[in-house]
Structure 1
Amino acid sequence: MSNTKQILSMLRSRAEGDEDQFLAIALQVAAAEARQGRRTNAELLRAAVEDVRRGGGDKPSVRVALAQPRGDLEGLLDLREPNIRLPQVVLADSVRARLDGVVLQQSRRSWLREGNRVPSRRLLFAGPPGSGKTMTAEALAGELRLPFLVVRLEALITRFMGETSAKLRLVFDETIRRRGVYLFDEFDAVGGKRAATNDVGEMRRVLNSFLQFMEEPASTDSIILAATNHPELLDPALQRRFDDVLLFEMPSPDEIREVIRNHLRPMKYPRISWDRVAEAGRGLSQAELARAADEAAKAALLSERDTIRTDDLLKQLAARHQMRDIFRGDQEAAR
């Protein structure tokens, strides 16, 4: 039978609303039963825990504080409530499979800890602008029903000696205190190569601090997620710190169709020439495709139509390419 301390701990965690801790203790009891040869009891306990988790619906698996960061963290972390889940994001099969693995490990993290293992929680997203990295980070938080906190690099990085590392310390302390998904966007600003010729001593110290903080254990298993458009600029030492590196690429023809369909709903589109649309959307990011679909839908509504035509989409996709050409021309003129 369970000892008094375990029963008290379960009652205490239940009273505090910490369901994750409650279930973790139940699994510890199951493990103790198994070690003592009472495997039937152990299996019954494990099955009961699974029933509780499956019956949880959309309730968070852990107690989550949704208050905005205060004090020294105010301005450093931007709390965003995730509005999407992973099935709503168009992803390459390989990326989706690896993210599904992260979700499984995180959802059964108490099982892993029971076997002296920890779930994957340090991820690097690499890929061109608009390929869906930030959207996927938000969807991962939504899938795990965790707060989504974006680190504001403009507030983190300062010109004063030692201040950036101190602020970085505050962020990592928060990951230990509050379970969530923490995104370092445009991560090459922090994780650039220490041997870069334009580097300064302060940024080398910041990177060293980041590497050190990444190694610290965290019982909350918060996900530390870095995203970069330029993985070639990152310091090689970071490769060993991340549990997985996921490469995001520009949408394939099938993904172009899926992104546009997702953003046309609930409009009708019975006779779209998808081959022409896919060709017109080649080279555009997910964000640009989504905006093109949205603009096509708005144009149809203003014309008092509830149906999207092929020409509606072709026109808006061409406009997105023109915008790219304008920015490309400005960049070339600046050189």
Structure 2
Amino acid sequence: MARADQLKALLRAYAGEEDAQFAAIALQMAADEAQKGHVRLAAELKALVEAAQARQQSKPLVRPGPVPMAQPKGELAELLTVRYPRHHLLEMVVAPDVEAKLKRVLKEQRSHDQLSGHGLSPRRKLLLVGPPGTGKTLTASVLATELRLPLFVARFDTLITKFMGESASKLRLVFEALKATRGVYLFDEFDSLGLQRGSQHDVAEMRRTLNMFLQLIEQDTSESIVIAATNHGDSLDTALFRRFDDVIRYSAPNEAQIEQLLRNGLAILENPNMDYAPLIQVALGLSHADIARACQDSMKDAVLEGLPHVSFESVLLHLQERSASLKALKSS
């Protein structure tokens, strides 16, 4: 029978509508069954996949019609970028408390009418705190996908200027967009705006912009979801925390999460004899993003070398390289 990790990878590919990945995993399952001596089952699985691929190729190429998208216009186009992500909660590997908080946000958002009927509002102002690569930006994409909303990302390179009052004026435009178009609005690297007032990095224009943000987020009664993400929670102005409905803290993955990340990342070309224990020890301290990239690099090695599975040595090498880079960065 198919392994649990193969079934999960198959479902993830199906949920993400990744036809090529779905077919690759199904063919891998067929190959595994053949190795176990289940020749007839393997042949049936392979025939089903090939038949599906043939049907897909025989369909006439139809140019899809325009997809209605909420595109920022005018000055907003310089302040916000928009995309429609396709990342599901099923794909995330996070701590149980983080997952529980995200499920709570989704449940409340989906029960908006039920809550409002009792004079209550769903959580929609979130502060995400944690090291780089631990899933904060992915969280915004997941919430947008699960709620079928556009994801708007604030561009701080154009939002923050040196001219008096201009940054606050631009920020006001963004909050007006929140009311006009429901979506998930991400203020990434929020510490560039939310520094402690009076800190050595504080400047007059930043202080004015932060004060405006505090006013706007407190007054905001839109139905959009506002997400602020930062790598430096300790440097944020304490006044910010009480403006949010929930603060979600992210951390580097533990051993169980590392194993799940490795299995997920290597699922398409996974070696059934892979010994994960030594890899987990090397990966301790790495972020989710570092581990995912190491898996991607290992699968590229296997494809370029014509191997049926990723090799233990390749995964170990790429994890060691990222671990060494992390140590060098911390020591610098």
| TM-score, shorter chain, exceeding 0.5 | yes
2-structure distance, mates of 1:217, 1:278: 44
Q: Which residue of 2 aligns with 1:294?
A: 296
Q: Which residue of 2 aligns with 1:248?
A: 250
Q: CA deviation at 1:328?
A: 4.2
* 2:109 is the counterpart of 1:103: no
2:188 counterpart letter in structure 1: D
Q: 1:273 pairs with 253, 267, 275, which one? A: 275
What's the TM-score, normalizing by structure 2? 0.77
Larger deviation, residues 150-159 vs 131-140: 131-140
* 2:189 is the counterpart of 1:186: yes
What's the TM-score, normalizing by structure 1? 0.77
SS at match of 2:153: strand
Q: 1:308 pairs with 297, 306, 310, which one? A: 310
1:316 counterpart letter in structure 2: H
Q: Which residue of 1 aligns with 2:55?
A: none
2-structure distance, mates of 1:261, 1:167: 44
2-structure distance, mates of 1:185, 1:223: 14
Following superposition of structure 1 onto structure 2, how do residues 1-335 of structure 1 map, counting pairs within 5 Å? Answer: 66-219=69-222, 221-328=223-330, 332=332
1:163 counterpart letter in structure 2: E
Q: CA deviation at 1:325?
A: 4.0
SS at match of 1:283: coil
Q: Which residue of 1 aligns with 2:22?
A: none
2-structure distance, mates of 1:107, 1:176: 19
Larger deviation, residues 257-266 vs 169-178: 257-266
Unaligned ranges ≥5, structure 2: 1-66
The answer on whether the counterparts of 2:125 and 2:244 sit within 8 Å (CA) in structure 1 is yes
SS at match of 1:226: strand
SS at match of 2:186: strand
Larger deviation, residues 303-312 vs 151-160: 303-312
Q: CA deviation at 1:299?
A: 0.6
Q: Judging changes above 3 Å, is the alpha-carbon distance between structure 1 residues 65 and 188 closer, same or farther for their aligned structure 2 residues?
A: farther
Q: Which residue of 2 aligns with 1:21?
A: none
2-structure distance, mates of 1:308, 1:226: 38
2:199 counterpart letter in structure 1: A
SS at match of 1:67: coil
1-structure distance, mates of 2:116, 2:314: 53
Root-mean-square deviation (Å): 1.5
Q: CA deviation at 1:322?
A: 2.7
1-structure distance, mates of 2:167, 2:94: 34
Q: Which residue of 1 aligns with 2:27?
A: none
Write out per-residue CA displacement over residues 153-209 of structure 1, whole angstroms, 9 at most, x where no aligned residue. Answer: 111000000000000001001011111100001101111111213312221111111
Q: CA deviation at 1:326?
A: 4.4
The answer on whether the counterparts of 1:271 and 1:309 sit within 8 Å (CA) in structure 2 is no
Write out per-residue CA displacement over residues 124-166 of structure 1, whole angstroms, 9 at most, x where no aligned residue. Answer: 0000111111112111111111101110111100000000000
Consecutive aligned runs of 4 or more in structure 1 exceeding 2 Å deviation: 322-329
Unaligned ranges ≥5, structure 1: 1-63
2-structure distance, mates of 1:326, 1:252: 22
2-structure distance, mates of 1:217, 1:250: 33
1:288 counterpart letter in structure 2: D
Q: How many residues align?
A: 266
Write out per-residue CA displacement over residues 43-72 of structure 1, whole angstroms, 9 at most, x where no aligned residue. Answer: xxxxxxxxxxxxxxxxxxxxx962321101
2-structure distance, mates of 1:172, 1:65: 22
The answer on whether the counterparts of 1:65 and 1:178 sit within 8 Å (CA) in structure 2 is no
Q: Judging changes above 3 Å, is the alpha-carbon distance between structure 1 residues 178 and 115 closer, same or farther for their aligned structure 2 residues?
A: same
Larger deviation, residues 311-320 vs 240-249: 311-320
2-structure distance, mates of 1:104, 1:208: 32
2-structure distance, mates of 1:143, 1:178: 17
The answer on whether the counterparts of 1:271 and 1:310 sit within 8 Å (CA) in structure 2 is no
